[in-house]
Amino acid sequence: FWWGAFGTSLNTGRWDRAWTDPSAPYIQMDKDGTGVAVWYDSRKTADGYTGYNIYMRHLDSLLSPAYQPPAHSLRPIRPGASASTVAEAQLMAGSSQAWTGFRGLSFDGFYYTPLVSIKDDYALGTVTASAYDYVGPVRTSAAGKPYLDRNYTVSVTNHPANAAISVRLIFTKAQFDALKAQDASIQDPGSLMVVKQPSTGTAPATYTISANDQNIKPVGWGTIENTAGNETVIEGYYVEIVISDFSNFFIMKGDIVLPVTLQSFTVKAVGATALLQWATVSELQNDHFDIQRSADGRTFTTIGRVQGNGTTSIRQDYQFTDAAPFAGDNYYRLAQVDIDGHIDYSQTRMLSFNAQVGSMQLSPNPVRSTLQITLPQAASGHDVVELYNLSGRKVLVQSVPAGTKQVNIEVSMLAPGMYIVRYGDGRMKLMKQ
């Protein structure tokens, strides 16, 4: 066993083991894919103690596609000075469906700092990410709009067609706080938007307005946390966007007027067919919706089209029936197309036809918080619903009272990824967002 340089795994391209020189490494693994790595080395903590320092790293759910590594300490690229950094290139084959992190070397003492995270849903080939940190008064565009003191460039060698790639752009709390101080209307990272423009190869030092700029509203945001003593502290944030290809990315206050505001999108089985229903509360130059289907959640094909309603502020209801869904899992999404050809994708919904008629039904699927399960028949009073991760580990059990035909289960505490829901002899796949 050899612990890689810089505290990372082997084959990262870093060869100088002087940075991290562990002794007596030992790993204890459990059959469910978890474990602990233990070693000691010559690094000393700042607490004044002498002797050897023992280090431990928890290896969590290594067999699960939903596994995400523990957060790495988030820091500026070069404290006190503007600088850029390039993360080591990685090969993404689209096979794990896990988040792949890209970290750049920080100049403050041999540390890596997170820059970008990309969900491994597509074969992107070799992926390279870089970031630029600006130190000084918050930068403003030529139009006088302040923008974040970190920007990004991501490039790939393979460009899959009809892709909807999930990307998280990571920045420090100090960078967000500095931008927020320039605009009182910024409440949290959910107030931000991402400007995507053609790539120049590496992350540029400034934002130059381009005719090809694309404003992207994030689908979500989150915190980057770490521990300081016994306390959990927020070191930074990320915003998550869905894109079809890569380039330069800048972050600023959002003022996007969405062409279509989608209020709801559901998919359910009606006999042997799939019924898709969605509603909008406003539309701006909406030409049509392409209905797209996939067997694996990655490669989509268009199976139908529903005409839009141009420009309207009145609720519009739509539906489409897939008369011949796959035998197995079906992933559906909407591609909303503007009159000028611009495309925005909805979130993906999954419906399975691999169970016999009369099996349980899961809604919504994918799910974020509360999962509603409709049982094929009233429970007997000794029934349970079980959730398993893909490594076969049971992660949740809930009893079902006698006579119950429908049960709600809270799953917000589960990590994003794929799970198996088991009730009696029935099993169905569940996607947790």
pLDDT tens digits, 214-230: 888 888 888 887 765 56
3-state secondary structure of 179: helix
Please state, rounded to an integer, the average pLDDT across all residues of the chain: 80
Q: Which residues contact 353 (CB under 8 A, 6 or more apart)?
A: 269, 272, 274, 325, 326, 327, 328, 330
Give φ, ψ of 222 to 5 degrees: -155, 175
On the question of pLDDT at 124 being above 50, the answer is yes
* pLDDT per position as a tens digit, 186-242: 988 988 999 998 887 788 989 988 878 888 888 888 888 776 556 777 889 999 998
Higher per-residue pLDDT: 155 or 414: 155
Mean pLDDT on 347-363: 73
3-state secondary structure of 146: strand
CATH topology of domain 260-351: Immunoglobulin-like (2.60.40)
CATH 2.60.40.2060 intervals, the chain: 260-351
Instruction: Quote the pTM value.
Output: 0.54
Mean pLDDT on 126-154: 93
Confidence label for 432 from pLDDT (cuts 50, 70 and 90):
confident
Q: Worst-scoring range by mean pLDDT, 122-131, 227-236, 380-389, 397-406?
A: 227-236
CATH topology of domain 356-432: Immunoglobulin-like (2.60.40)
Helices (H) and strands (E) in the chain, counts: 1, 29
Cβ neighbours of 333 (radius 10 Å): 22
Closest CA to 269 of 385, 368, 355: 355
pLDDT for 401 equals 82
Q: Give the rounded percent of residues in the chain with a pLDDT score beyond 90.
A: 25
Confidence label for 311 from pLDDT (cuts 50, 70 and 90):
confident
Between CA 44 and CA 48 the distance in angstroms is: 8
Between CA 307 and CA 269 the distance in angstroms is: 23
- 324 HSE (CA, 13 A, CB side): 2
Pairing of strands 349-352, 35-41: unpaired
pLDDT for 190 equals 86
Cβ neighbours of 372 (radius 10 Å): 14
pLDDT for 238 equals 94
DSSP codes of every residue in 265-316: EEEEEETTEEEEEEEEEEEEEEEEEEEEEESSSSS-EEEEEEEEEEEESS-E
Between CA 132 and CA 154 the distance in angstroms is: 12
Taking the CA atoms of 10, 13, 14 and 17 in sequence, report the sign of the dihedral they define. Answer: positive
CATH 2.60.40.3080 intervals, the chain: 356-432
* pLDDT per position as a tens digit, 57-104: 666 545 444 444 444 578 888 888 899 999 889 999 988 888 898 988
Confidence label for 56 from pLDDT (cuts 50, 70 and 90):
low
Confidence label for 250 from pLDDT (cuts 50, 70 and 90):
very high
Distances (CA, A) of 217 to 185, 254, 265, 269, 368: 16, 7, 18, 31, 19
Confidence label for 251 from pLDDT (cuts 50, 70 and 90):
very high
CATH 2.60.220 intervals, the chain: 63-253
Radius of gyration of the chain (CA): 24
On the question of pLDDT at 383 being above 70, the answer is yes
Closest CA to 236 of 246, 256, 251: 251
On the question of pLDDT at 377 being above 80, the answer is no
**What CATH number should be reported for the domain whose range is 63-253?**
2.60.220
Q: Provide the edge-to-edge strand list for the sheet that holds 35-41.
A: 23-29, 35-41, 53-59
Token output for 417: 């990824």
